[in-house]
C-alpha cells in the first residue's frame, strides 16, 4: 500500500499535461456513471409501463410473503378495493378479504385464511390453477418461485374462454345425444323395414306356391300313378291265385320308394311355405338349383320345356338362406316358363353355375323372346308386371333383388338372341 506521502510526491512529480489528462479521464468517468444511472432509470420505467399495461394481473411477493410489486390489473381482476394491497406488507390481507367475501367457501374467514396461507409455506414449484371468485369470475392463476424465495403470480380472466368451452361441451353433448337418438330411430326403422320386407317376401313366396300348385300336383301324380299300378298289378295276381312272393316283394318295395318320394315333395313344399328365418348358412348353389327343379321340373316337362343344367363337378359354397335362394330360382324358372309359353317357338331353359372373379354366378337363359326395352328398366320394381291380373304379382323380381342384395350379391337382366338372361353374382362363402 502506498502511503499518502508517496502519493503526494508522485502527484508533484507529474507534468501539467499529465495532470490534465488524468483529470479529464476522471471527469468523463463521472459522466459515464451518470449516463448509466439515467439509462437504468429509463429501463425500469419501461419495465414498469409494460407490467402496468399487460392484460394479466401480476404480483410479486418476497420470501416473507410481503408485496414487492403488483399492477392495477391484479387488484382489478380480484375486485379488491383500492389501497387493500400495500407494498412491503403481508399478502394475507388479500386472502382474508377473499375468505370474508366467500371465495373460499363457507367457514370461518380467519381459519380459511390460515389454511390457505399454510398451503403456501411449503416449497413452491411452477404451477397453475383455476379460481372461481364469489362474483362468478373464473381466474387462471399461474405461479412461479423466484430464485430468492419469493413468488410471482400471473392472473388472467378466463371466464369468457370457460363459457365458450362450456358451450362447446354442451353442443357436443347435445350432438352426441342427437346422434344416439337418431341411431336408435334408424335401428328401429331398419328393423321395421326388415319386418316389412320379410312380409313381402313371404307374400310373394305364397304367390309362387300358388303358381306352383299345379306343378306340385303333377309332381305328386307321378309317384301316385306308380303306386296305383304296382298295387293294381299285385292285386290282380292275388285274385288269380298266383302268389309269387318275389314279385309281391318287388312291387311293395316300389310302392315304398314312391311313398318316400311323394313325402319328400310334400316336405319340401311345407318347408318352402314356412317363413324363412334363422341365420344364413353355407349353401351349395347346385343344391339350390336341384331343389328348385324338384318343385317345378315336372311342370316344365309337361309344358314341353326342355331344361338343361350345367353344373360344375365341384363348387364353392355361398352364404345365404336355402329357402330364399330357392325362391329366387323358382321365380326365374316360372318367369322363363311364362315368357316361353307366351312367345311360342323353341322351348328351352338353361341353368348354369360358374365360378367367376372370386364369385359364384347362377345364370338362367331362356328362349322366351326376351324383355322389351321399356320393361327392361322396370322389371325389378315392385308390382311391375306385364302379365294378366291373377297371373303375375310383379313381386317376384323385386323380392329376388332384395334377397340377393342382402346376400351381398347382384342380379342383372339382359336379352340374348333367343330370350332373356338373368345373371346372379354372389360372393363365395369364406
Which set of grid coordinates corresponds to residue 362?
347362377
Interface characters, 314-343, with ligand ADP (x: CB under 6 A): -----------------x---xx--x----
CB of 370 to ligand ADP, least distance (A): 6
DSSP string, 323-346: HHHHHHHHHHHHHHHHHHHHH-S-
- Which one of 22, 232, 375, 412 is in contact with ligand ADP (CB under 6 A)? 375
Residues 399 and 381: their CA atoms lie apart, in Å, by 9
CB of 393 to ligand ADP, least distance (A): 4
For residue 156, state whether it binds Mg ion (rule: CB under 5 A): no
CB of 280 to Mg ion, least distance (A): 24
CB of 218 to ligand ADP, least distance (A): 20
For residue 212, state whether it binds ligand ADP (rule: CB under 6 A): no
Which set of grid coordinates corresponds to residue 42?
429509463
- Which one of 156, 335, 364, 367 is in contact with Mg ion (CB under 5 A)? 335
For residue 292, state whether it binds ligand ADP (rule: CB under 6 A): no
Segment interacting with Mg ion, rule: CB under 5 A, options 44-52, 151-159, 171-179, 325-333: 325-333
Q: For residue 175, how far is the Cα from the chain centroid?
A: 15
Which set of grid coordinates corresponds to residue 114?
390460515
Rounded to the nearest 5 degrees, what angle is found at the Cα of 363, between the Cα atoms of 357 and 367? 145
For residue 396, state whether it binds Mg ion (rule: CB under 5 A): yes
- Supply φ then ψ for residue 281, to 5 degrees: -130, 175
- Which one of 371, 403, 404, 407 is in contact with ligand ADP (CB under 6 A)? 371
Closer of 204 and 258 to ligand ADP (Cβ):
204
For residue 368, state whether it binds ligand ADP (rule: CB under 6 A): yes
For residue 367, state whether it binds Mg ion (rule: CB under 5 A): no
Residues 129 and 297: their CA atoms lie apart, in Å, by 84
Closer of 51 and 209 to ligand ADP (Cβ):
209
For residue 98, state whether it binds Mg ion (rule: CB under 5 A): no
DSSP string, 8-66: HHHHHHS-HHHHHHHHHHHHHHHHHHHHHHHHHHHHHHHHHHHHHHSSSEEEEE-TTSB
Using CB under 6 A, which residues numbered 174 to 203 contact ligand ADP?
Answer: none
Choose from ligand ADP, Mg ion, none: what does 219 bind? Cβ within 5-8 Å by kind: none
Choose from ligand ADP, Mg ion, none: what does 212 bind? Cβ within 5-8 Å by kind: none
Closer of 275 and 387 to ligand ADP (Cβ):
387
Closest by Cα among 91, 95, 92 to 69: 91
Using CB under 6 A, which residues numbered 67 to 96 contact ligand ADP?
Answer: none
For residue 397, state whether it binds ligand ADP (rule: CB under 6 A): yes
Choose from Mg ion, ligand ADP, none: what does 386 bind? Cβ within 5-8 Å by kind: ligand ADP
Choose from ligand ADP, Mg ion, none: what does 393 bind? Cβ within 5-8 Å by kind: ligand ADP
Is residue 301 a contact partner of residue 334, using CB atoms and an 8 Å limit?
no
Closer of 112 and 212 to Mg ion (Cβ):
212
Element containing residue 419 per DSSP (H, E): none
For residue 385, state whether it binds Mg ion (rule: CB under 5 A): no
Closest by Cα among 402, 263, 377, 252 to 327: 402
- Supply φ then ψ for residue 2, to 5 degrees: -80, 135
Q: For residue 426, how far is the Cα from the chain centroid?
A: 25
Strand order in the sheet with 138-145: 67-70, 57-61, 151-157, 138-145, 127-132
Per CB under 5 A, residues contacting Mg ion are 331, 335, 396
Positions touching ligand ADP (CB under 6 A) are: 331, 335-336, 339, 366, 368, 371, 375, 379, 384-387, 392-398, 419-420
Amino acid at each position: 500500500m502506498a502511503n499518502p506521502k508517496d502519493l503526494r510526491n508522485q502527484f508533484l512529480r507529474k507534468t501539467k499535461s499529465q495532470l490534465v489528462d488524468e483529470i479529464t479521464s476522471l471527469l468523463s468517468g463521472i459522466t459515464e456513471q451518470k449516463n448509466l444511472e439515467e439509462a437504468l432509470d429509463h429501463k425500469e420505467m419501461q419495465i414498469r409501463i409494460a407490467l402496468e399495461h399487460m392484460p394479466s394481473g401480476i404480483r410479486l411477493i418476497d420470501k416473507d410473503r410481503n408485496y414487492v410489486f403488483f399492477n392495477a390489473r391484479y387488484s382489478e381482476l380480484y375486485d379488491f378495493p383500492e389501497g387493500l394491497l400495500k407494498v412491503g406488507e403481508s399478502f394475507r390481507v388479500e386472502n382474508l378479504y377473499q375468505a370474508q367475501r366467500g371465495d373460499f367457501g363457507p367457514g370461518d374467514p380467519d381459519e380459511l385464511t390460515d389454511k390457505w396461507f399454510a398451503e403456501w409455506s411449503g416449497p413452491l414449484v411452477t404451477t397453475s390453477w383455476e379460481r372461481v371468485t364469489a362474483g362468478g369470475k373464473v381466474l387462471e392463476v399461474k405461479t412461479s418461485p423466484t430464485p430468492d424465495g419469493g413468488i410471482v403470480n400471473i392472473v388472467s380472466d378466463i371466464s369468457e374462454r370457460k363459457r365458450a368451452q362450456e358451450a362447446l361441451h354442451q353442443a357436443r353433448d347435445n350432438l352426441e345425444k342427437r346422434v344416439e337418438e337418431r341411431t336408435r330411430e334408424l335401428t328401429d326403422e331398419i328393423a321395421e323395414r326388415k319386418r316389412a320386407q320379410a312380409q313381402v317376401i313371404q307374400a310373394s313366396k305364397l304367390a309362387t306356391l300358388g303358381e306352383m300348385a299345379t306343378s306340385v300336383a303333377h309332381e305328386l301324380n307321378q309317384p301316385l300313378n306308380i303306386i296305383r299300378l304296382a298295387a293294381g298289378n299285385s292285386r290282380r295276381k292275388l285274385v288269380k291265385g298266383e302268389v309269387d312272393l318275389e314279385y309281391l316283394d318287388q312291387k311293395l318295395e316300389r310302392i315304398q320308394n314312391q311313398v318316400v318320394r311323394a313325402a319328400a315333395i310334400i316336405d319340401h313344399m311345407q318347408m318352402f311355405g314356412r317363413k324363412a328365418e334363422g341365420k344364413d348358412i353355407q349353401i351349395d348353389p347346385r343344391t339350390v338349383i336341384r331343389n328348385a327343379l324338384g318343385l317345378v321340373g315336372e311342370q316344365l316337362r309337361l309344358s314341353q320345356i326342355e331344361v338343361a343344367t350345367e353344373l360344375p363337378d365341384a363348387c364353392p359354397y355361398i352364404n345365404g338362406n336355402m329357402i330364399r335362394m330357392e325362391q329366387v330360382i323358382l321365380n326365374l324358372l316360372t318367369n322363363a316358363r311364362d315368357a316361353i309359353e307366351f312367345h311360342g317357338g323353341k322351348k328351352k331353359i338353361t341353368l348354369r353355375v360358374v365360378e367367376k372373379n372370386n364369385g359364384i354366378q347362377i345364370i338362367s337363359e331362356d328362349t322366351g323372346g326376351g324383355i322389351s326395352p321399356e320393361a327392361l328398366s322396370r322389371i325389378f320394381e315392385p308390382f311391375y308386371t306385364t302379365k294378366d291380373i291373377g297371373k303375375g304379382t310383379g313381386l317376384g323380381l323385386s323380392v329376388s333383388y332384395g334377397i340377393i342384395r342382402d346376400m351381398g350379391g347382384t342380379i342383372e337382366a339382359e336379352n340374348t338372341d333367343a330370350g332373356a338372361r338373368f345373371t346372379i353374382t354372389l360372393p363365395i362363402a369364406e
